[in-house]
Structure 1
């Protein structure tokens, strides 16, 4: 067996020296074995490296996404703030377009509350100006659209305004075209106004503008108040039934103007004027 093995070895050795086949076979076999061992390891390494790189990229993307979301929220907040500032500037420009008549001065004020009182029985708003800042009792309150009402209670730094739609409100007016006088009376929240004590034969038209008459110095003369929407005649009344709509938007008030009397215009008690006009109307 030993001799046979030795002969076989010598034969293979001699044959390999002449042909080199065994060396080639051993070389190829070794290479394939090495490749078979290293290739799975390289694949595993590549997969690990690729996963790690993608994970790092995902972390960076997530971080960038969070940053972009934060910037978007900040931009949306800034845009909303800018839109609010723009709306306020437009409102203030409109208010500044209102010029005070001679003997009167403009005082700007902000609305800080609506409908005050027990069970909100009064159509009113609360302003951030009191008598120390020129918001005295009976001071007219307007916007660029028209008359809002007048102050009926004033503190040092705040004041309450009775809106012209309140049933307790009385404003002496005159029609702009026909110069027919009357008293505009409120009928309640979100209701029309009534122009009272207009004689049956007094000239008046639907769509005509009603402005303050300036009587008694309670309001400057010529401030727009309302527009006539209907006129009815009755056989049992001495007066026309005239309905009007306020020109000022009373539901969305944010800033208003107080028209203060500088003292050059003589002021009287408006309530006394209204009472006198009612007595005169009843006598007629």
Structure 2
């Protein structure tokens, strides 16, 4: 007679098997990166397919826009264009003055780097991870560690690249850090993500450091990961507890990380070369010294 209740695999065996598999996956985590990239490349067409309804919806909204709305937008764009033209004229003057100062100091002039506009295709569904997926990948030349900004400031950096897409880790993620400096006094610090989409914090800042609410934080260029001078955040709160060794400083990112749609991928300047130091042996003799040597030879 077949028994009604059949004894299955014991709970202890299942627990042991799960622990063993977990340890194996932890050890082989780095070796699984090529497999993850291959799977991501295979699934990239599906991500584009999932993005089709949104594209169709945007196209429909643009198609049914009324003439009045287009006229209002045209006037607003004309106003913004005039404002940008005026700012561009002032910036051109500052650029020329900066080039003259760099020439006097013997510093290399920073050339315009390559930039590509990318669109956000997917946002992280995990509340403990802050990342987005862009519609550009290795085929466009995107690489791991590449800087990503929007119209207002730094967004984050590329951490994973497939053939057609790339994943960007936002600067508010708990595993993200970025070197910054305060524009007011050039104080340098490290801005660390807090897991909150609109807050980052400055770590290990002494209580005596000159930091004020409202200070603008920009990239310092240290680490050679983010270009220097891009806006990052603005200091919102400073807490100096007598029982703590360091200040607790929180800042709000300037980029709208909770509603970004278009971002800018930035490539580093390849033509930048460090200035060659001038040696004493390379300096030609002065004309007066040369004439003095000639007169000495004649008198002899």
Shared fold (TM-score, shorter chain, > 0.5): yes
Listed one character per residue, the Cα deviations across residues 141-176 of structure 1 (whole Å, up to 9, x for unaligned) are 001100001101111210000011111110000011
- Name the residue aligned to 2:114: 105
How many aligned positions are there?
Answer: 185
- 1:120 is displaced (CA, Å) by 5.5
Sort the Cα spacing of 1:82 and 1:214 in 2 relative to 1 into closer, same or farther, 3 A.
Answer: farther
1:142 corresponds in structure 2 to 149
TM-score under structure 2 normalisation? Answer: 0.55
For the 8 Å contact 1:123–1:166, the answer to whether it is kept is yes
Asked if 1:239 is matched to 2:225, the reply is: no
> Which residue pairs with 1:211 in the alignment?
218
In the TM superposition, residue 265 of structure 1 has moved relative to its aligned partner by 5.7
Identify the residue that residue 263 of structure 2 maps to in structure 1: 256
Note closer, same or farther for the CA distance 1:176–1:76 as it changes in structure 2 (3 Å cut). Answer: closer
The equivalent of 2:64 in structure 1 is 78
Please state how far the C-alpha of 1:237 moved relative to its aligned partner.
2.6
From the two aligned structures, give the one with the greater helix fraction.
1
- After superposition, the C-alpha distances for 1:50-81 in whole angstroms (9 at most, x for unaligned) are xxxxxxxxxxxxxxxxxxxxxxxx99952179
RMSD of aligned residue pairs (Cα, Å): 3.4
Partners in 1 of 2:232 and 2:61 — Cα distance?
Answer: 42
Matches within 5 A, 1:31-50: none
Match of 1:115 in 2: 124
Report if aligned partners of 2:149, 2:263 keep a CA contact under 8 Å in 1. Answer: yes
**1:1-284 pair list within 5 angstroms:** 77-79=63-65, 102=111, 104-115=113-124, 119=126, 121-264=128-271
Q: CA 1:135–1:229 in 2, change beyond 3 Å: closer, same or farther?
A: same
SS in structure 1 at match of 2:65: helix
The separation in 1 between residues aligned to 2:63 and 2:249, in whole angstroms, is 48
Whether contact under 8 Å (2:111, 2:269) holds in the other structure is no
Residue 216 of structure 1: SS of its match in structure 2? helix
Structure 2 Cα separation of the partners of residues 190 and 151 of structure 1: 18
SS in 2 for 1:261: coil
Mark the CA change 1:158 to 1:76 in structure 2 (over 3 Å): closer, same or farther. Answer: closer
Give the aligned partner of residue 34 of structure 1. Answer: none
Pick closer, same or farther for the CA change 1:81–1:108 going to 2, 3 Å: farther
User: For residues 81 and 139 of structure 1, what CA distance do their matches in structure 2 show?
Assistant: 41
Residue by residue over 1:236-281, the C-alpha shift from the partner in whole angstroms, topping out at 9 and shown as x without a partner, is 3322111100001111111100111243469xxxxxxxxxxxxxxx
Offset at residue 102 of structure 1 (A):
3.1
Instruction: Decide whether the 8 Å contact of 2:198 with 2:257 is kept in 1.
Output: no
How far apart, CA to CA, are the structure 1 residues paired with 2:255 and 2:198? Answer: 13
The two structures have a TM-score, normalised by structure 1, of 0.57
Change (3 A) 1:258 1:81: farther
